[in-house]
Amino acid sequence: MQQVKLGSQGLTVSAQGLGCMGMSQSYGHADDSVSIATLERALELGVNFFDTADVYGERGVYGFGANEKLLGHALHRRRDEIVLATKCGIHGIHPSGRGFQVGASPEYVKRACEDSLERLRTDRIDLYYLHRVDPETPIEETVGAMAELVREGKVRHLGLSEVTAEQLEKAHAVHPISALQSEYSLWTRGIEESVLPAARRLGVGIVPFSPLGRGFLTGTVAGAEFTDDDMRRTNPRFSHEAIAANQAIVEVVKEIAAERGVRPGQIALAWVHSRGADVVPIPGTKRPAYLEQNAAAAELQLTPSERERLDPLAAQVTGSRY
């Protein structure tokens, strides 16, 4: 797979990465041996950009460290072949059940980094993200602590996840930000109004998570019954009513896929790739076969007419992201 520059600070990654969260939580049962085979297959295909977080935990819940430990176990002997991204700042689900508990004081950031390094079995993190902004701590203070980690050699590059344009500007003024991670796909385009232009003005790379719409855009979700440990069970876009309404979006993707002789998910990923050379999506999977399908999409070029059919679909979405 082609290697590309992510941001303007010298970070080079595969043109498509691998989101690893589902190997430990949120999308039903995962088998560690199959997940490890997926990681190894990724490297064989040239996918070397792996994304995790300290909070990705055990089987369907936000806990601590399980996903980082899995990657550390599977990949520490091949560390120099990998661009490793992890995150700090989310402590778990809020007691109310709505939203996350967040915290990113300078002291917490430094402690979290040390813990992640230990779990990942490495001496440096290639891309360290603030997972969510702490409303009690100015982002300048959080990023200042992250910048100290760069100076100490524990972190190579800094990133932010799900921030506003204003927050990105403030953070970048403290230390250059290499990557902005946000949900971005055919049916989630909120960053285009202000965040994406700000990132491009600052030379910050874009890392879309859930570029397949949490699996919906693969055309395989309709009729599925989600288990209790699958976060889609309570996601507004995956209620029975929303799935029925949103099926019209998938039908367009499926039509184009049939015309091209590819899978719907590959069309959805190709659309994300088409948004610019600075866009590096990280579709998540825990199975080698799906990884292979996703990786092939990086070479798929959409025609202008196909993009004209796909671009309006976001306006038809029923249900909020969370």
Catalytic residues: 56
| HSE, side-chain direction, 13 A CA sphere, residue 264 | 19
Whether the Cβ atoms of residue 318 and residue 241 lie closer than 8 Å to each other:
yes
| DSSP notation for 145-159 | HHHHHHHTTSEEEEE
CA distance 265 to 278: 21
Whether the Cβ atoms of residue 217 and residue 185 lie closer than 8 Å to each other:
yes
Whether the Cβ atoms of residue 85 and residue 52 lie closer than 8 Å to each other:
yes
Burial class (CB in 10 A: 0-12, 13-18, 19+), 239: middle
**Strand duo 3-6 + 11-14: pairing:** antiparallel
Q: Report the C-alpha dihedral over residues 216, 270, 192, 276, rounded to 10 degrees.
A: 160
User: Among all chains, which residue has been given the structure tokens 């082609």?
Assistant: 2
CA distance 25 to 69: 13
At what angle are helices 165-174 and 139-151 packed, to 10 degrees? 40
CA terminus-to-terminus distance, the chain: 33
Whether the Cβ atoms of residue 149 and residue 113 lie closer than 8 Å to each other:
yes
CA distance 23 to 28: 9
227 to 25, 28, 162, 236, 245: CA distances (angstroms):
12, 6, 27, 16, 22
